[in-house]
């Protein structure tokens, strides 16, 4: 049951993009926004016009032209966001998943993340090429004689900014056990970086068989500010004893690091009484080209 639960939470997709103006994306070389953090504590966001060993010609988002000495730069990174009336809105750098499952959007080549979920499940993903994402993970339950291991490649068939489509599968097993199982899925996302809705469907397989009853996923997100984002990720399992899984969380965004805090419940748990919500906590760190 633990394996099935982790696989369900692992593989059914969700997504992340905006129903508003198309955002400036960090993976676009034509519209990259570079953030320069200076040694004196000041921060500049904009584009690099030219760069030598002695001088960086920089245009800020407000249009000001400045010259910066590389020796005065503490660190630099590429960010994704857009200007608003109240200032720069930085998008979530961990935009290819909701609470756990993958989205229809792919990671840019060379970018990725490592994450820990519920303190006992490690996962990581990396972008390969323009549309392939390789994801996997392992449980680290203290004292357990068996651990879950999974791998989950995903291919984004379509990415038109406000509409993405992806297909993939996840294959999982328990150490020391020759049996394995997983899910084949497809997902589509409508929206953009600030708010989006994703619908997906998948079929469980294992033991040489594929279940003919699909699992349906629906979820979404809304970014409230550069630091706060709301997430929901839900599954309907029309199999015997399947029921409905409902989850929601708040994501706190701090540069490359994001922290999710929320809860998960199941329709059977609610009907049985008791404490109906399982707390959810995860941390994710982004890595990749700056």
Residues 59 and 185 grouped into a single domain: no
Residue 185 pLDDT more than 90?
A: yes
Could you list the residue range(s) of the whole structural domain that residue 263 is in? 2-23+92-287
Residue 7 pLDDT more than 60?
A: no
Lowest mean pLDDT segment, chosen from 93-107, 130-144, 263-277: 263-277
Query: DSSP per residue over 136-188, as a string?
Result: EEEE--TT-S--EEEEEEEEEEEE-SSEEEEEEEEEEEETT---EEEEEEEEE
Indicate which CATH number applies to the domain containing 13.
Answer: 2.40.160.40
Closest by Cα among 258, 246, 185 to 215: 185
Q: How far apart are CA 201 and CA 213, in angstroms?
A: 10
Residue 225 pLDDT more than 50?
A: yes
Residues 62 and 117 grouped into a single domain: no
Q: Per the domain annotation, does 84 fall within a domain?
A: no
Residues 125 and 237 grouped into a single domain: yes
Q: Per the domain annotation, does 87 fall within a domain?
A: no
| Residue 274 pLDDT grade (very low, low, confident, very high; cuts 50, 70, 90) | low
The total number of structural domains in the chain stands at 2
pLDDT at 22: 36
pLDDT at 11: 40
- 145 vs 273: which has the higher pLDDT: 145
Q: How far apart are CA 37 and CA 261, in angstroms?
A: 29
Q: Is 110 left (phi over 0), alpha (psi -120 to 50) or beta?
A: left
- Relative to beta strand 163-174, strand 180-191 is antiparallel
Residues 19 and 38 grouped into a single domain: no
Q: Summarize pLDDT for 75-113 with one digit per residue, the tens.
A: 888 888 887 777 788 888 887 888 988 889 888 888 899
Q: Per the domain annotation, does 173 fall within a domain?
A: yes
Residues 19 and 37 grouped into a single domain: no
Residues 183 and 278 grouped into a single domain: yes
Residues 267 and 137 grouped into a single domain: yes
pLDDT at 17: 30
Indicate which CATH number applies to the domain containing 61.
Answer: 2.30.30.100
CB atoms within 10 A of CB 174: 19
Residues 169 and 73 grouped into a single domain: no
Start-to-end Cα distance in the chain? 41
Residues 153 and 112 grouped into a single domain: yes
Q: Per the domain annotation, does 186 fall within a domain?
A: yes
Closest by Cα among 242, 241, 249 to 220: 249
Q: Summarize pLDDT for 143-170 with one digit per residue, the tens.
A: 888 999 999 999 999 998 889 999 999 9
Residues in the chain: 290
| Residue 10 pLDDT grade (very low, low, confident, very high; cuts 50, 70, 90) | very low
Q: Per the domain annotation, does 85 fall within a domain?
A: no
pLDDT at 103: 84
| Residue 255 pLDDT grade (very low, low, confident, very high; cuts 50, 70, 90) | confident
- 82 vs 9: which has the higher pLDDT: 82
| Residue 270 pLDDT grade (very low, low, confident, very high; cuts 50, 70, 90) | low
Q: Per the domain annotation, does 182 fall within a domain?
A: yes
**For all residues of the chain together, what is the average pLDDT?**
84
Closest by Cα among 250, 244, 241 to 265: 244
pLDDT at 240: 61
Residues 6 and 65 grouped into a single domain: no
Q: What is the percent of the chain where pLDDT is above 70? A: 85
Q: Per the domain annotation, does 86 fall within a domain?
A: no
Residues 187 and 69 grouped into a single domain: no
Residue 74 pLDDT more than 50?
A: yes
Lowest mean pLDDT segment, chosen from 28-37, 181-190, 211-220: 28-37
pTM: 0.78
Residues 138 and 196 grouped into a single domain: yes
Q: How far apart are CA 69 and CA 55, in angstroms?
A: 5
Q: Per the domain annotation, does 115 fall within a domain?
A: yes
pLDDT at 27: 38
């Amino acid at each position: 049951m633990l394996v099935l639960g982790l696989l369900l939470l692992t593989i059914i997709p969700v997504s992340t993009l905006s129903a508003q103006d198309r955002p400036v994306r960090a993976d676009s070389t034509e519209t990259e926004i570079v953030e320069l953090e200076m040694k004196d504590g000041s921060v500049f966001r904009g584009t690099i016009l030219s760069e030598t060993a002695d001088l960086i010609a920089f245009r800020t988002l407000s249009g000001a032209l400045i010259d910066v000495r590389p020796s005065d730069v503490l660190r630099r990174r590429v960010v994704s966001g857009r200007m608003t009336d109240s200032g720069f809105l930085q998008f979530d750098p961990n935009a290819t998943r909701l609470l756990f499952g993958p989205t229809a959007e792919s990671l840019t080549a060379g970018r990725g993340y490592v994450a820990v979920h519920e303190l006992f499940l490690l996962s990581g993903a990396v972008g390969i090429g323009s549309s392939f994402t390789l994801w996997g993970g392992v449980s680290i339950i203290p004292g357990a004689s068996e651990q879950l291991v999974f791998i989950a490649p995903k291919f984004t068939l379509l990415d038109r900014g406000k509409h993405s489509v992806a297909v993939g599968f996840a294959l999982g097993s328990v150490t020391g056990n020759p049996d394995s199982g997983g899910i084949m899925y497809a997902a589509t996302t409508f929206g953009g970086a600030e708010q989006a809705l994703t619908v997906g469907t998948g079929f469980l397989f294992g033991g040489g068989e594929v279940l003919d009853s699909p699992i349906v996923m629906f979820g979404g997100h809304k970014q409230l500010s550069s630091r706060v984002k709301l997430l929901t990720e839900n599954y309907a399992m029309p199999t015997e004893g399947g029921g409905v899984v409902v989850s929601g969380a708040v994501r706190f965004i701090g540069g490359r690091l994001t922290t999710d805090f929320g809860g998960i419940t199941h329709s059977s748990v609610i009907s049985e009484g008791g404490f109906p919500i399982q707390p959810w906590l995860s941390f994710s760190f982004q890595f990749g080209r700056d």
